[in-house]
Chain A
Amino acid sequence: MPSARRQGNRKGPAISASPAIAEPSAGIGFSGLAARFLKRRAKGRTVPVLAVCLAILAVWYLAAIGVNWATETDKLARAGDYTTSDAIAATWSAERPVLPAPHQIVAELWKTVFDVKPTSPRSLLFHAWVTLSSTLLGFVFGSALGILIAVGILFSRTLDKTLMPWVVVSQTIPILAIAPMIIVVLNSVGVQGLLPKAFISTYLSFFPVTVGMVKGLRAPDRMLTDLMRTYSASPLQTLVKLRFPASLPFLFTSMKVAVAASLVGAIVGELPTGAVAGLGARLLAGSYYGQTIQIWSALVTASLMAAVLVWLVDLCERVALARQGARP
């Protein structure tokens, strides 16, 4: 981190000093630029990732034929004669398929997102918002708690020796098993709705933040802390001016893990309440009534949400680190 900052602050001379002729294709002009752009796309990730995605889609469609074949041909045979193309079309448009085809999931998503009012319980947006709100609440609580504990561990050797091993061990424990109990027990004392789920998310997300922050707060080396001491900085000043800025990369990395864990916590927290609202409830209801397309669309929504949340944290990281002078 500090080295990156040093590089970022270097101006003018260092850049112009680089030899322009030594690099191949340097200063060749516009056509070279375009060619390089194309070559870089092919050598970069975009093309391979697209190819892999297409392959996955193709395999998915083929698998849908194979998996749904038996039940659908059965139905068609009872109705009368059928051709192979009929059967294939039927496997891709069954009402309760074993494996729904991707376009069926997209259609279901479209229907439940755009065709119904966002406030009705039939809308996927409604359920997504229920899950998202407890995810975010739990994530904020969890991150704050994680940072607080990390600062405590930094300042107290006793906490470091007593609490830190438990934080590490607790990561090896299947915490999600506690989720139903927290929901039901809190429910029985009258705490309902958002808070119990947020509590589970908090619980899941504070461990990664604690571990990452402890590492980050200790990241500044001896030279830097000694420099702070020569400035006669107080422990608090060292914390705010040196350790916090230095810990940012660690904080953001662990927050990405934490936000994903927080979402999982919110989804699992919605299971034991008997499928009231939320993506987890949607999964459970789908599995009760054999609505495979509903399950898959809830799953796709949850995945999209996770990707967007992680991407947002990533965006914050880039902005924050760019302000510190780091270069991509």
Chain B
Amino acid sequence: MIARRPALSALFKRREASTGYILLGIAFVLFFVVNTTTVILRNFADPAPGKAFWIMSAILWAIALLATRELATAVPRSSTAARIRDVAVPVLFGVTLLALWELVVRGLNVPPVLLPPPSAIATTIAASAHLLRADFVQTVLKAVLAGYAIGCGAGFLTALLVDRSPFLKRGLLPIGNLVSALPIIGVAPIMVMWFGFDWPSKAAVVVVMTFFPMLVNTVAGLNASSAMERDLMRTYGASHGQTLMKLRLPAALPFIFNALKINATLALIGAIVAEFFGTPIVGMGFRISAEIGRMNTPMVWAEIAMAALVGSLSYGLVALIERRATFWHPSIRHG
């Protein structure tokens, strides 16, 4: 797509890489980073990290970076190799970053309150799995899921209604667009006041946050089919419902999935922030604000790690369903 600049590509001659070569590279970086980090921590960190510790760490970083760059700039020979490469390179980069995080935090003796090492976070996750599970059930399974379903459903149905009236469409769309720029999260204290401390108030915040993106996107999507296609449906003598089901809703699917993806992230944020305004003693937002009050940062990081995992997994799930449902769309057909 983009023309590479000649100066740099002449410096690094283009190399063809087979699947085996790429797999080998991935295994090397993983093994090298994990092993060397362990060795450095075991042999050079006690009693106090000296020069050797930092030199070893710098070498680790340089070799891992060079190897990752080798993988990133190589030209894969097959599409499978390219796909493996595109997934593996950022993962390797992440693993290297984690290793460096561990080394720097341990080496500089950063107090765990400021920034705990990844190993401490992992220990906390393993040790307090039951708490994390309870928080997950309270925040995600109850508040987020209920709010997401109601908010997206209501937005969708409202869009279908609004679609019948051009007047409403012209009036509601600018307002909907404006609302999507507003800090809706601010309704959280109001919802907590109306619906109490338990999960319904969080679900209500999620409903309000997810409603407008869904409404605006669905209305835009229902207009996505061209006049020619709609005229064709009319020549078939199709009713409004038939045109909707067979032409306009399928054409609107990419827009609807876009809203579903935006909302997947928004819903989690809404539920967590709403919990800052008052909860029973369970929930991800509650845990974050309570543990930070006790300066128990590893636990906060554990919650954040879980939130990140839940957020990206739910986004990925919606994206996966989208690929299945809109297989005909050009952006997916061509890979």
Contact = CB atoms under 8 A, between A and B. Distances in A.
Interface residues of A, number: 66
Contacts of B273: 176-177, 268, 271
Interface stretch (A87-95, A115-123, A294-302, A316-324): A294-302
Given A177-B273, A181-B304, 12 more contacts: A47-B171, A48-B167, A48-B170, A155-B5, A163-B90, A172-B315, A180-B276, A181-B288, A292-B193, A302-B182, A302-B183, A302-B186
A161 B174 contact: no
Contact of B297 (A155, A164, A181, A264): A181
Interface string A173-207: 11111101100110011000000000000000000
Contacts of A226: 3
A71 interface: no
27 contacts: A48-B169, A48-B171, A48-B172, A49-B175, A52-B168, A53-B175, A98-B194, A160-B72, A164-B90, A169-B312, A171-B265, A172-B265, A172-B312, A174-B308, A180-B288, A181-B300, A185-B115, A188-B113, A268-B273, A272-B292, A287-B190, A287-B278, A295-B186, A295-B189, A295-B190, A299-B186, A310-B181
Contacts of B314: 172
Q: Which 10 A-B pairs have the closest CB atoms?
A: A48-B171, A287-B189, A161-B72, A52-B171, A165-B90, A172-B315, A162-B93, A48-B170, A173-B308, A260-B181
Contact of A181 (B92, B169, B174, B292): B292
Contact of A173 (B69, B168, B312): B312
Nearest to A44: B170
B100 interface: no
A231 interface: no
Given A162-B89, A292-B190, A302-B182, A176 B3 contact: no
B216 interface: no
B273 to A, nearest CB: 6
B113 A173 contact: no
A95 B175 CA distance: 30
Interface of B: 1-7, 68-69, 71-73, 85-86, 89-90, 92-94, 113-115, 167-172, 174-175, 178, 181-183, 185-190, 192-194, 264-265, 268-269, 272-273, 276-278, 284-285, 288-289, 292-293, 295, 297, 300-301, 303-304, 307-308, 311-312, 314-316
A303 B175 CA distance: 12
A286 interface: yes
A284 interface: yes
A222 B314 CA distance: 37
B181 A256 contact: yes
B272 A45 contact: no
B319 to A, nearest CB: 9
A208 to B, nearest CB: 12
B172 A189 contact: no
Given A173-B308, A295-B189, A188 B295 contact: yes
Contacts of B168: 48, 52
A244 to B, nearest CB: 15
Contact of B114 (A44, A51, A161, A189): A189
A162 B189 contact: no
B193 A290 contact: yes
Interface of A: 44-45, 47-53, 98, 154-155, 157-158, 160-166, 169, 171-178, 180-181, 184-185, 188-189, 218, 222, 225-226, 229, 235, 256, 260, 263-264, 267-268, 271-272, 279, 283-284, 286-287, 290, 292, 295-296, 298-299, 302-303, 306-307, 310
A175 B268 CA distance: 10
B265 A307 contact: no
Given A165-B90, A177-B288, A283-B189, A45 B171 contact: yes
A177 B94 contact: no
A176 B188 CA distance: 14
Contacts of B113: 185, 188
B181 A307 contact: yes
A185 B185 contact: no
A192 B308 CA distance: 27
Contact of B73 (A157, A163, A171, A218): A157
Nearest to B66: A158
Contacts of B171: 45, 47-52
Contact of B193 (A256, A279, A287, A310): A287
A172 B311 contact: yes
Contacts of B71: 161
Given A161-B89, A260-B181, A283-B186, A218 B2 contact: yes
A218 B186 contact: no
A18 B167 CA distance: 32
B170 A45 contact: yes
A169 B269 CA distance: 15
Which of B115, B170, B181, B315 has most chain A Cβ within 10 Å?
A: B181
A222 B69 contact: no
A306 B1 CA distance: 36
Contacts of A171: 265
A176 B185 CA distance: 11
B268 A174 contact: yes
A162 B90 contact: yes
A164 to B, nearest CB: 8
